Amino acid sequence: GGIITQTPKFLIGQEGQKLTLKCQQNFNHDTMYWYRQDSGKGLRLIYYSITENDLQKGDLSEGYDASREKKSSFSLTVTSAQKNEMAVFLCASSPDRGNQAPLFGEGTRLSVL
Amino acid sequence: GDSVTQTEGLVTLTEGLPVMLNCTYQTIYSNAFLFWYVHYLNESPWLLLRSSTDNKRTEHQGFHATLHKSSSSFHLQKSSAQLSDSALYYCALSERGSALGRLHFGAGTQLIVIP
């Protein structure tokens, strides 16, 4: 079976710091996503990518960059961490065809001091 | 634009009572897909139910939901809550029907089942 691996699981940063989160999937899925989870706000899409080197902005892309270096990996960069920010970032992937819903990784938990 | 509304942020139930988590949506697409994801603490969210067929009941692991396009609803139900059902539940809408794309999630409902 396949797996979506997110690294690191926990990330502690300083205000203003640039922070990078990584995601790898071995399902050979075409599309990959980054979502942010905040209590009471659901999951909000930051960026997604439908193929290698493609990037599409989601609803929450300001303050983030993303990179799809190869089909299996999708990284997210917080360009300037905000003081006291706490959130969970979830990576997901899905095939481009058929009716399979996205599968999720376990998340990266970010805390900014 | 597309949106999903889950009316309850927190639902606390006694074990054995029925579960009903509400979900309504707005979309311009007639063939939209609706989903319920469940997220247990420290695990990945995973798909519980999905549907794109009007008025057809879909079931999985004791939960069921029926998509009603006339009322734009996809409520999640279970006849008898178990302690292990305690989790965060998300209703979600796909903006494309033929090949699933971005999901629009509701705010989530935290279900707590007590003895």
Cα–Cα distance list, B106 to A71, B35, B88, B89 (Å) = 29, 10, 11, 9
CATH, residue A53 = 2.60.40.10
**Domains in chain A: how many in total?**
1
Q: Is there a domain that residue A46 lies in? A: yes
Is residue B99 scored above 80 in pLDDT?
no
DSSP letters spanning chain B: --EEE---SEEEEETTS-EEE--EEE-S-TT-EEEEEEE-TTS--EEEEEE-STT-EEEETTEEEE-BTTTTB--EEESS--GGG-EEEEEEEES-SSS--PEEE---EEEEEE-
**Predicted confidence (pLDDT) at residue B66 exceeds the cutoff of 80:** yes
Least CB–CB distance from B35: residue in A98, A101, A106: A101
Residue A19 in any domain: the answer is yes
CB contact under 8 A, B99 and A4: no
Query: In the prediction, which pLDDT does B96 show?
Result: 63
**What is the C-alpha to C-alpha distance for residues B70 and B24, in angstroms, rounded to an integer?**
11
The burial class, CB within 10 Å (0-12 / 13-18 / 19+), for B37 is buried
Report the distance separating Cα B38 and Cα B47, nearest Å.
6
Encode pLDDT of A58-108 as tens digits. 989 999 999 999 999 999 999 999 988 889 999 999 887 666 788 999 999
What is the arithmetic mean of pLDDT over B79-93? 96
In this predicted structure, what is the pLDDT of residue B7? 84
Report d(CA A24, CA B53) in Å as an integer.
Answer: 33
Domain of residue A67 covers 4-76+96-112
Supply the range of the domain harboring residue B84. 3-114
Residues 6+ apart with CB under 8 A from A47: A33, A34, A55, A56, A57, A58, A61, A64, A66, A76
Q: What per-residue confidence (pLDDT) applies to B48?
A: 96
In a domain, A89, yes or no: no
The answer, for A9 touching chain B at a CB cutoff of 8 Å, is: no
> Average model confidence (pLDDT) for chain A?
92
The continuous run of DSSP H or E covering A106 comes out as none
Taking only residues 37 to 96 of chain A, the set having a beta carbon closer than 8 angstroms to any beta carbon of chain B reads 40-45, 48, 58, 90, 94, 96
Q: Domain for residue A85, yes or no?
A: no
Q: What is residue A39's predicted lDDT score, i.e. its pLDDT?
A: 81
Q: Give the model's pLDDT for residue B18.
A: 98
The residue that leads in pLDDT, A28 or B32, is A28
Are residues B101 and B1 in contact, defined by beta-carbon separation less than 8 angstroms?
no
Q: Does the pLDDT value for residue B60 go beyond 70?
A: yes
Residue B76: give its domain's CATH number: 2.60.40.10
Number of structural domains found in chain B: 1
> Who among B9, B47, B102 is closest to A45 (CB)?
B102
The pLDDT of residue B101 = 57
Taking CA atoms, what residue in A is nearest to B32?
A99
Predicted confidence (pLDDT) at residue A109 exceeds the cutoff of 60? yes
Say yes or no: B36 contacts chain A, CB-CB below 8 A. no
Tokens 């927190």 belong to B10
